Amino acid sequence: MPPLILILCTGNSCRSHLAEGILRAALGDACRVASAGSKPAGYVHPLAVKAMAEIGLDISAHTSKHMDEFLTQNVETVITVCGNADQACPMFPGQLNRHHWGFDDPAHATGSEEEQMQVFRRVRDEIRRVFEAYAAGRLDQAGRCPA
């Protein structure tokens, strides 16, 4: 079974779903990718879904989950995308790697929907640069998704 990469943030409504969708697309079947939160919001932000659709990625079926759902799974790599999740993150069975790459929370954007979308697009593009580079590095190591 391919290794599992778990992306964590506090609410599991925006950043972690952006990263999950981007990383899943970049890695293909080489790894399993999931996201969760330390205090899940219970929904995926509609503007996150819209921002991803703009780049051809559909995250409309994603759900907001608690990180405890993964405590019994072999999680090879944990990546936190916000400071609160980094501090609340437990060790998972089989965990070999942990990375923290913090991003602004677009859910806090204010103004009109278009002004909020500008923030979602900026954060999406920042996450895309980091996670596509990470995926390329993993795949380059051996043409697969090694530890």
- Of the residues 14, 31, 82, 145, only one is catalytic, namely 82
SS3 label, residue 79: strand
Enumerate residues 6+ apart whose C-beta is below 8 A from 105: 9, 11, 14, 15, 82, 123
What does the block give as tokens for 43? 């929904």
Integer Cα distance of 66 and 42 in angstroms: 9
- Of the residues 14, 31, 89, 145, only one is catalytic, namely 89
Integer Cα distance of 35 and 85 in angstroms: 12
Catalytic annotation on 145?
A: no
- Of the residues 9, 14, 31, 145, only one is catalytic, namely 9
Catalytic annotation on 9?
A: yes
Q: Point out the residues that are catalytic.
A: 9, 82, 89
